[in-house]
Amino acid sequence: MKAAVLHEVGGVPRYEDYPDPVAGEGEVLIDVRAVAVENVDKAFAAGTHYASGEFIAHLPVIPAFDGIGALPDGTLVGFGNPRLPYGALAERTVVPAGAFVPIPEGVDPAVATVLGTAITGMSIKTAAGFVPGETVLVQGATGVAGRLAVKVARLLGAGRIVATGRDDEQLREVLALGADTVINTVVPDEALAGAFAEAKGDGYDVVVDFLWGRPTEILLRSLVPESFAFPKPTRVIQIGESAGAELGLAAGSLRTSGVEIYGAAKGLGPEVMGEAYGQIVKWAQSGELTFDLERVPLSDIETAWRRTDLKGRRLVVLP
Map out the domains of the chain as residue ranges.
2-114+291-318, 117-263
- Rounded to whole angstroms, the Cα distance separating 145 from 256 reads 31
- pLDDT for the residue numbered 302: 97
pLDDT, the chain, mean: 94
Contact 234, 204 (CB under 8 A): yes
Hey, what's the torsion of the CAs at 69, 92, 118, 13, to 10 degrees?
-160
Sheet holding 259-263, edge to edge: 181-184, 160-165, 135-139, 206-209, 234-238, 259-263
- pLDDT for the residue numbered 196: 97
Contact 112, 34 (CB under 8 A): yes
Residue 171, SS3? helix
Which pTM was predicted? 0.90
Quick: pLDDT tens for 132-189.
999 999 999 999 999 999 999 999 999 999 999 999 999 999 999 999 999 999 999 9
- Rounded to whole angstroms, the Cα distance separating 79 from 292 reads 22
Which amino acid is located at 255 in the chain?
R
Beta bridge pairs of residue 29: 94
- pLDDT for the residue numbered 255: 84
Return the percentage of the chain with pLDDT > 90, whole number: 85
Nearest to 88 by CA among 112, 105, 108, 117: 112
Would you put residue 27 in left (φ > 0), alpha (ψ -120 to 50) or beta? beta
Homologous superfamily in CATH for domain 2-114+291-318: Medium-chain alcohol dehydrogenases, catalytic domain (3.90.180.10)
Is the pLDDT score of 237 beyond 80?
yes
Tell me if domain 2-114+291-318 and domain 117-263 are identical in fold.
yes
Burial class for 318, CB neighbours closer than 10 Å (0-12, 13-18, 19+): middle
Q: What architecture (CATH level 2) is domain 117-263?
A: Alpha-Beta Complex (3.90)
- Rounded to whole angstroms, the Cα distance separating 145 from 121 reads 7
